[in-house]
Amino acid sequence: MGAIYRLLVLVSVLSLAGCTTARPSPAGSTRSIPPAVSPSPPSLSSVAPGTGSTLSLTTGTIDQRSTTPALAYASTGEYLVWSSGARIGATAKVAPDLFTAVPGGAAQLLYANPNRDSELRPIGGHRSSFAFIEENFRAFGYGGWKLWYIPRPGAKAVEIDRGVMSVVPNFSISGKWLAWTPGPGDMSELVVVDLTTMRRRVLLSSPAQEAQYWHPAIDGDRLVYGTVELAVDRRSDQRHVYLLNLAAEAPPRRLDHSVSASEPAIHGDDVVWKESDPSLNFVVSGSLTHYSLKTNRSQPLLLKPGPQPTINGYGVGWTQPSVGNRYVAAWSDSGDGDRAMYLADLRGGGVVKIVDLGPTVEAPHDVVVRPVLSGDLLAYVFGPAKGNLQLRWVSLR
């Protein structure tokens, strides 16, 4: 588990913060770092059990000169994007800059941050556009953050929102929409901005002691999000997943039939979320559910062959699901869960192996963690027992 403990925080969390108008940043640049590995990485084959189909996997590793040290990363479906302190040095304790690369291509400096003591997390994007949160207590005040948007590589970053809170917003970007979860401290809000006009709307607002909005996820005009709906006794709080159509004036539609649904992800007609122990904080791991917007039916989703991770009082199971064009990714810290990575096939059923290092009793040991899938491009971290973390990618086309 040694490599996992060397990972910096990669989980986005909620912030309740105020808003400002959009403004351009002074730092917009694109520079190339020549790849240290072959731009034509190997192709592998993986069989989806139960389907008889073989998937060709093209894989690669991002040049470590731009990822050491790295803080957060994402796949946009076309690009890999990550925050890093590499321009400060391999032993930097901050990650102020944003890099991007297409699979097999050279790393490019996407955002050269004038605040050299900042950290960029979480980060995300859709196709060739990007968004990220910048944290800097010195420059922005204690708990201070800013939400930035970059419309394309080489363009200047535009400030979308800012706030001062103990935690930062969750956000999601798709096409012309960017949604996030700020609020003025005592209120929880779900906000969206049309990036073509910079017109923003507060979609939902609630006293934070009654309901809180978390983990928005957008695909086209469809927005799914999670709630924590607090009970008066604080012992029977419920967590649910809802769907909104950003192009219509329809009320939210609840999708789950449980009391502990969270972390939704969406692509097309497919929605996936996590269901965890309702007596624990929702950030713990749990089981996965797949919901079809076409059939309005849900079913359990399995992400590995054989026995599944045990869901127990410690929340061991799956977490942070993401949905691509055909496959679903998530990761597990259960047993040897940090040693293997599989994708669930939503079309053919079964699972597809990405990597399986096999069980081990060694400590520390090599690990593979936190897959992030968008479209047909998967990103994940390989953590060797000794040495620096590696940002790897897999093309599923």
Domains in the chain with CATH codes: 2-395 (2.120.10.30)
Question: pTM score, two decimals?
Answer: 0.88
Chain-centroid distance of CA 122 in Å reads 8
SS3 44: strand
What's the burial of 352, exposed, middle or buried (CB within 10 Å: 0-12/13-18/19+)? buried
Confidence at residue 311, expressed as pLDDT on a 0 to 100 scale: 61
Confidence at residue 18, expressed as pLDDT on a 0 to 100 scale: 30
Sequence-ordered list of residues with C-beta below 8 angstroms from that of 119, at least 6 positions apart, any chain? 71, 83, 94, 95, 96, 134, 135, 136
Confidence at residue 383, expressed as pLDDT on a 0 to 100 scale: 96
Low-confidence ranges of the chain (pLDDT < 70): 1-54, 166, 183-184, 308-316, 335-336
Tokens of 83: 């925050």
Confidence at residue 279, expressed as pLDDT on a 0 to 100 scale: 86
The helix (run of H) or strand (run of E) holding residue 260 is none
Tokens of 200: 């923003």
Are residues 63 and 112 in contact, defined by beta-carbon separation less than 8 angstroms?
no
In whole angstroms, give the CA distance from residue 264 to residue 286: 13
In whole angstroms, give the CA distance from residue 213 to residue 223: 12
In whole angstroms, give the CA distance from residue 19 to residue 284: 30
In whole angstroms, give the CA distance from residue 240 to residue 263: 10
Q: What is the pLDDT of residues 236-291, one digit of tens each?
A: 899 999 999 999 989 999 999 999 999 999 999 999 999 998 888 888 889 999 99
